[in-house]
Structures are given as structure tokens and as C-alpha cells.
Chains A and B, each alone.
Chain A
Amino acid sequence: MTAHDGPQGLEAQFEQWRQYVLRRRELQAVDADELEDHLRGSVDELVAAGLSPDEAFLVAVKRMGSLDDLSREFAREHSERLWKQLVLTGDSGSPVGGTRSVRDLWVMLGCAAGAVVSVKVPALFGLSFADDGSFYARNFTLFALPWLAAYLAWRRGARRTVIAALAVLFVLGAVAANAYPLADDSQSVVVTSVHLPIALWLVVGLAYVADDWRSSRRRMDFIRFTGEWFIYLVLMALGGGVLSAFLFNTFAAIGIVPEAFVSQWLLPGGAAAAVVVAGWLVEAKQSVVENIAPVLTRLFTPLFTAALLAFLVAVVWTSHGIDVEREALLLFDLLLVVVLGLLLYSLSARDPLAPPGPFDKLQLALVVSALAIDVLVLLEITGRITDEYGGTPNRAAALGENVILLVNLAWSAWLLLSFIRRRTPFAALERWQTGYLPVYAAWAWIVVLVFPPLFSFA
């Protein structure tokens, strides 16, 4: 007789077995109950036949066969379980998970309501969407993102120092957006409206990684979160558009035109709430279905590579210089952002231990062709930026971004190459990308805080 024998040891073994069963998505708590009863029946019979409880348990588990086979058979009957896993109130079978996700739902609803109220607060001070467009353009991220950050900080159980840092950064953002005397038609307003969201989104990132902000894995999770959040937001925007159209047209059909309601309440309130709800959805459905951003990346990496290579060939073939118009630098910045996004989201879904494959080579081709195009653009532009356009905030910001992205992609290309030649592990590339996140944050804050006075609020 071993120490495991006896009723208590047996109960512990049943509990362990149950946890093991519940890890299968195909098997739910009620199935575990039913199978456990089966296992107990089997054990009882074997004990009655003279086996010790320990032996009986082992034999009974062995008789049941492998859990793989079992869950495959269950999956055939319950294929819906592999699809709908997102339940608003969690698994009713497990009380602990249930209360946790119910509380989660309420906190999320509170934060979403807070975001809706924040959008409408300025209206109390006489600021309307129609007349103070520039105020709303500068501040729109300040209405919703603090609430998303609050929800994430709550979920992560952030420490006080982190919460204080978050609060300080959001206040700093509000100061940057509103304290400088920027004219409504100045370039600086546009530059601030573009860069403040980036800076604040990375503050949300700080809330996301609040439990372990130095960890490269957590930062990668934030990159994944960003992609999925964006996709949910786009989907909700589509749904919201359909809802508003129906609301507008059905009411218009009976002679009531709800234009003010739709444009003053439904759209701004819905957008602010959607920011928080999208964050909650990503958190709630982690690992429920395959993440979408990496799938899109897989689809579009070959297509973008082909497009960029075709463009390069065309430039060389026609020996036509790239025509650098006013918006050109911005266009090529966006190109680099897209390439970086494609790189990031394939990194995020890659098994770090897998050996280099054809897709990695394809990515190297993508990054190198984007770099080649960007170098051409920079050569074209360096002459002009100093004399023709001079130092406007637009130009300086776009150029700064270009340099930051260029450095990132150049080093990524180098790391990809050494990974393909098996000189460095894949993790080096991942660490480089996650370590680079503070650089974007620093630049966005510099543009928002330092640029307006530097360019004398032009």
C-alpha cells in the first residue's frame, strides 16, 4: 500500500483527471461530470473485484482510452463547440470563471459608459461637433482611450505606480492637445491630431503590459492585441453603419428625421464605446478562434511583395525618377508602416522554434524591396527638404518617421537574413521589434510636445 491509497488519494486523482479533461475544448463541464461518473463506476467494480483503489484507477483510466480519440468523437457530435466559445457570462458550469467574467462584463460596460459620457461632456461647455471640429479632432482619442486603459489596468491588477504613470501620461496628452495656442488651420494641429493617438495608444499598451512591462512576450501580446482590436473595431464600425442607416431611413419613412440624434449621439457615443468593447472582446475571446491579423498577413505578404518588386522593376526599366509631390513622403511612410505591420503580424503568429522556411525568405524579399524603394525616395527628397519646403512641422515629422521605420526595417532585414542563414535564433527578431516599441512612443511624444513650440505653432 502506498501513501496514495485510500479515499483521499483517489479523490485527488479524480480531480487531477477532471482538470486534464477540462483542458479539452471539445469536452465541457457536463461531459466531464458524465465521464467521471463512468470512471467511478469502473473503479468501483474493479475495487469490488479485489484491486487496490490506486490500481483500479489506473486500469479504469487505461480502459477509457486516449483523450485524443475521445475528444475527436465528441467533436464530431458537438462541432458547434469549436465555433462559438464566446459566451457573455462565461461558463455557467464553473462558478469561479462565471463570476469573474460577469464582473469583467460589468467593468467593461462601466468603462464604455464612461467613454460615451466623456464624448458628450464638452458639449456642456458649448463645444459642438459642427463648430469646434478642430477641438474634437485633437481630442477624440482622449475621450475613449483612457477608459480602455482603465479597463485593461483593472484586468491586469496594475500596481499604484503604474496607474499613476498612466494618469500622468493622459493628462500630459490633454495638455499637449489643448494648451498650445494652435490656429485651427495650422499644420501643427494636423500633426498633433495624427501623433497624439499613436502616443496615447502606446500608453494603452503600458496598461496592457502592466503586470510585467519588461517582458518581451507581453509586449508581443500587446502587438497581437492591437491587430485584433483594430479588426474588431472595423467590424463594429461596419455594423454601426448599417444600424445608423436603418435607424435613419426607417424613421425618415414615418416623417421623423433623426439626423441630430444619429450625428450628435449615436455615432460619437457608439465610436467611443466601441473602442472599449473591442478591447474587451479581444480579451474575452483570446484563443477562441484563430487570430485574424496573422491570417490576413499570410494572404497579403506575397501580394505586397509582388507589387513592390513590380514597382522597383518599373522604376529601373523606365528610369523615371519618383515624383516627390507634397504628399509623397507621407505615402511612402504609410508603405513602410504596412510592411512593418505585415512583418510584425507574421512574427506574432510564428512558432519561435520552427526552422526558417520559404515564408521567411518571402518576408525578407518584402522588407528589402520596401527598403530599396524608400532609399530611392529619400535620395530624391533630401535635396528638396532643405530648400523648397523648408522646415515645416509636417515635413519634419514625416522625415523623422521615415528614418525611424527605415532603421527598424533595415535591422529587421539583417536579423531575418541571419535567421535564414541560421546564425541567430528567431527570438532575436522578436526582441528587436518589442524593444523598439518605446522608440515609437518617444517620437510621438516629441512630435506632440516639442514640435509646436519648435516651429513656433505654425
Chain B
Amino acid sequence: MKVAKDLVAASATPMVLGILAEGESYGYAILRRINELSGGELDWTEGLLYPLLHRLERLGHLESSWQAVAGERKRKYYRITDRGLAELAEQRRQWDTVVGALKEIWHDRAPLTVHPLEGLA
């Protein structure tokens, strides 16, 4: 199963803000973390992640700094700001509403995808 592109895009902002709320991080590690959290089901590309990080930085939700790692290598670390935390709280409220509503609808139904024939029994 692959998560649809639209859904990936819609959930991208709260996902990144949520990960950075755990502590500062950098692009590659964020991507690894998303992979880990979703068991490899969320297909994120660099073309999605980095422009999104730059946009959140421009909006003031994140701030960044270059730090030296392992000799001459430089790495750009991102940190969530207070604005970003507020945005995360707002996004969370919205997602809770959506997820809550979906759960209500699907409450006592068997999952449709797995074994459609069993549902008839």
C-alpha cells in the first residue's frame, strides 16, 4: 500500500512540525524518522521535504542554523519556534477533528480492504 500523494502533501506540515517539536533536526534525519514512523509507507521525496522546510522557515514556524559536523561538513539544523508550536497546536486540533469524524463513521464496520468476502458472512 502507498499513501496517496494528496494525503502525503496534506499531512506534511503537521508531520514535520511534530518531529521538530521533539527536538532540533536536519533534513536527512527528518526523512528517516518519517520513514520509521510510517513503517516505510509514506513516500516522501527530497523535492517535498526541502521546499517545505524552506517555506516553514519563511513563515517563521522554523529557524535554522548551519552547524559543523565531522570535519569540514556543514549541516543545516532546523528548530521549531513559538509560532511553529502554535501552528502545530492548531493543525493538531484540525487533524483530531478529521480523524475523530472518520473514526465515528468507521466505528463498527470491518475494514473494507482486507477481506471483502468475510464481510458477507
Q: Which residues of A contact B (CB under 8 A)?
A: 30-31, 33-35, 37-38, 40-42, 64-65, 69-70, 72-74, 76-78
Which of B45, B48, B54, B73 is the one whose CB lies under 8 Å from A37?
Answer: B73
Q: List 11 A-B contacts (CB under 8 A).
A: A33-B66, A35-B46, A37-B26, A37-B73, A38-B28, A69-B45, A73-B45, A73-B48, A77-B51, A77-B54, A78-B54
Where chain A touches its partner, the secondary structure class is helix
Per-position binary interface string of chain B over residues 80-105, scored 1 when its CB falls under 8 Å from any chain A CB and 0 otherwise: 00000000000000000000000000
The answer to whether A33 touches B47 (Cβ under 8 A) is no
The answer to whether B76 touches A74 (Cβ under 8 A) is no
Which of A30, A31, A64, A77 is the one whose CB lies under 8 Å from B55?
Answer: A77
**Residues of chain B with a CB closer than 8 A to A31's CB:** 50
**Residues of chain B with a CB closer than 8 A to A30's CB:** 76
B75 close to chain A: CB less than 8 A = yes
Could you tell me the distance in whole angstroms from the C-beta of A253 to the nearest C-beta in chain B?
42
The answer to whether B27 touches A38 (Cβ under 8 A) is yes
Instruction: Give complex CA distance A33, B26 in Å.
Output: 12
B74 close to chain A: CB less than 8 A = yes
The answer to whether B45 touches A74 (Cβ under 8 A) is no
**Residues of chain B with a CB closer than 8 A to A33's CB:** 66, 74, 76
Instruction: Give complex CA distance A183, B73 in Å.
Output: 74
Between A and B, how many residue pairs show CB distances below 8 Å?
52
Most B CB contacts (10 A, CB to CB) among A30, A69, A72, A73 go to A73
Could you tell me the distance in whole angstroms from the C-beta of B55 to the nearest C-beta in chain A?
5
Could you tell me the distance in whole angstroms from the C-beta of B62 to the nearest C-beta in chain A?
13
Residue of A nearest to B58 (CB): A77
Residue of B nearest to A78 (CB): B54
Could you tell me the distance in whole angstroms from the C-beta of B64 to the nearest C-beta in chain A?
9
Q: Which residues of B contact A (CB under 8 A)?
A: 26-29, 31, 45-48, 50-52, 54-55, 58, 66, 73-76
Instruction: Give complex CA distance A72, B47 in Å.
Output: 8
**Residues of chain B with a CB closer than 8 A to A64's CB:** 46
Instruction: Give complex CA distance A34, B74 in Å.
Output: 8
Could you tell me the distance in whole angstroms from the C-beta of B12 to the nearest C-beta in chain A?
12
**Residues of chain A with a CB closer than 8 A to B74's CB:** 33, 37
Instruction: Give complex CA distance A183, B46 in Å.
Output: 74
Instruction: Give complex CA distance A77, B26 in Å.
Output: 19
Residue of A nearest to B55 (CB): A77
Residue of A nearest to B26 (CB): A37
Instruction: Give complex CA distance A326, B40 in Å.
Output: 84
Which of A40, A70, A76, A78 is the one whose CB lies under 8 Å from B46?
Answer: A70
Could you tell me the distance in whole angstroms from the C-beta of B92 to the nearest C-beta in chain A?
24
Residue of A nearest to B46 (CB): A64
Instruction: Give complex CA distance A70, B49 in Å.
Output: 10
Residue of A nearest to B28 (CB): A41
Given A41-B28, A42-B28, A69-B45, also A35-B76 (CB < 8 A): no
Which of A37, A70, A72, A77 is the one whose CB lies under 8 Å from B75?
Answer: A37
Which of A37, A40, A42, A74 is the one whose CB lies under 8 Å from B47?
Answer: A74
**Residues of chain B with a CB closer than 8 A to A35's CB:** 46, 50
Instruction: Give complex CA distance A74, B29 in Å.
Output: 20
Could you tell me the distance in whole angstroms from the C-beta of B121 to the nearest C-beta in chain A?
44
Instruction: Give complex CA distance A69, B47 in Å.
Output: 7
The answer to whether A76 touches B26 (Cβ under 8 A) is no
Could you tell me the distance in whole angstroms from the C-beta of B67 to the nearest C-beta in chain A?
11
